[in-house]
């Protein structure tokens, strides 16, 4: 089995290099980690980034949960074969959005569903990830890193903290939203609202499943469940936090508030790729093999 093999001491991540969001938030840029407005002097990590990671970027599509799940399992199986034959291989990360769906972890309790499963408004799928029930839907960015932790840190606690770090940096650097961790409640929080949920599975040190960041979405499905089994806290999105703080005298944030959902998702996506690349020290290369046709829309 896979678990932490180092003391669960706090890993100090490099501090965020941005003091304000990139100057041209809506300009498009490619998958290269040298995205717009980076201060190269402060990106001491960039010169050390050398390990390859395939990026399967489906973030502009709504992908069937089952198809994405099958894709992950196929990639994990592929990597396990390569491990057995002592071959090197890059990591993979999938980024996408899902059609509306509720998912449960291996040990999830149906008591956290506020409806009868037979009369569910959306599909309810039990998976092999950790964590309790959650909702995925349009306007939420989902990231499934399929990493060989032997090349990173064979420590599940570190990995969970690293995923949280990615999102905390996205919220800070791209949206000037101060987010944090909550002890005993894995995920990323802004005050008492969870903006990103995390649940993973590890098989022979290969990770899959991952994180879901609420960007600009209909949050009402979360009211049909007790998200992650936590009763006394809520769920938010980047949009809801920005609108709540609209009185905040920041022209960039006000501009973001007025942007439509797809622009906000696009902007969040670029930051997510950037921060993921930095936290995990990976060079992302688009993998075009997995096209949208292999992840049929529902």
Partner 1 sequence: MALRMWASSTANALGVSCKTKAQFLPAFSLSRCFSSVLDGLRYANSHEWVKHDGPVAIIGITDHAQDHLGEVVFVDLPEVGGLVSKGGSFGAVESVKASSDVNSPISGEVVEVNSKLTEVPGLINSSPYEDGWMIKIKPSDPSELQTLMGPTEYTKFCEEEDTAH
- List the one residue from 2, 29, 113, 259 that touches partner 1 (CB under 8 A): 2
Three-state SS sequence of 178-214:
CCEEECCEEEEEECCEEEEEEEEEEECCEEEEEEEEE
- Does residue 186 touch partner 1 according to CB under 8 A? yes
Cα 197 to Cα 193: distance, rounded to the nearest angstrom? 11
Site string for partner 1, 111-130 (x = CB under 8 A): -----------------xxx
How many chain residues interact with partner 1 (CB under 8 A)?
Answer: 31
Look up residue 3 and give its DSSP letter: -
- CB 64 → partner 1: shortest distance, Å? 22
- CB 186 → partner 1: shortest distance, Å? 4
- CB 76 → partner 1: shortest distance, Å? 11
Phi, psi (rounded to 5 degrees) for 113: -100, 130
**Helix extents (H) in the chain:** 65-84, 156-175, 238-244, 251-258, 261-279
Residue 228 bears catalytic tag: yes
Cα 33 to Cα 55: distance, rounded to the nearest angstrom? 12
Environment class of residue 39 by beta-carbon count within 10 Å: exposed (0-12), middle (13-18) or buried (19+)?
Answer: exposed
- Does residue 5 touch partner 1 according to CB under 8 A? yes
What residues contact residue 19 under an 8 Å CB cut-off, 6+ apart? none
Q: Which of residues 151-180 bind partner 1 (CB under 8 A)?
A: 153-157, 159-160
Q: Which of 16, 35, 228, 257 is catalytic?
A: 228
- Does residue 204 touch partner 1 according to CB under 8 A? yes
- CB 157 → partner 1: shortest distance, Å? 7
H or E stretch covering 63 = strand 51-63
- List the one residue from 106, 180, 246, 262 that touches partner 1 (CB under 8 A): 106
Pick the stretch among 59-67, 192-200, 267-275, 276-284 that binds partner 1 (CB under 8 A).
192-200
- CB 275 → partner 1: shortest distance, Å? 20
Contact footprint for partner 1 (CB under 8 A): 1-9, 105-107, 128-131, 153-157, 159-160, 186, 198-204
Active site residues: 228
């Amino acid at each position: 089995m896979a678990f932490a093999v180092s003391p669960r001491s706090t890993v100090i991540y490099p501090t965020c290099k941005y003091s304000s969001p990139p100057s041209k938030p809506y300009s498009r840029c490619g998958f290269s980690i040298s995205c717009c407005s980076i201060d190269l002097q402060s990106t001491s990590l960039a010169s050390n980034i050398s390990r390859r990671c395939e990026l399967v970027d489906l973030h502009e599509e709504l992908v069937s949960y089952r198809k994405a799940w099958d894709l992950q399992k196929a990639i994990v199986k592929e990597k396990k074969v390569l491990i057995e034959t002592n071959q090197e291989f890059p990591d993979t990360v999938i980024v996408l959005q899902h059609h509306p769906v509720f998912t449960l972890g291996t040990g999830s309790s149906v008591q956290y569903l506020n409806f009868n499963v037979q009369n569910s408004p959306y599909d309810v799928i039990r998976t092999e990830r950790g964590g309790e029930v959650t909702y995925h839907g349009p306007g939420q960015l989902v990231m499934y890193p399929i990493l060989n932790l032997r090349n990173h840190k064979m420590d599940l606690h570190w990995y969970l903290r690293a995923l949280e770090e990615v999102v905390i940096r996205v919220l800070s650097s791209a949206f000037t939203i101060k987010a944090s961790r909550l002890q005993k409640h894995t995920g990323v929080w802004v005050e008492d609202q969870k903006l990103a949920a995390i649940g993973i599975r590890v098989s022979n040190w290969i990770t899959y499943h991952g994180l879901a960041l609420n960007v600009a979405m209909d949050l009402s499905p979360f009211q049909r469940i007790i998200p992650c089994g936590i009763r006394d806290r809520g769920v938010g999105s980047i949009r809801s936090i920005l609108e709540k703080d609209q009185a905040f005298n920041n022209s960039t944030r006000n501009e973001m508030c007025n942007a439509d959902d797809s622009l906000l998702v696009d902007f969040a996506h670029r930051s997510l790729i950037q921060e993921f690349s930095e936290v995990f020290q990976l060079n992302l290369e688009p993998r075009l093999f997995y096209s949208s046709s292999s992840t049929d829309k529902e």
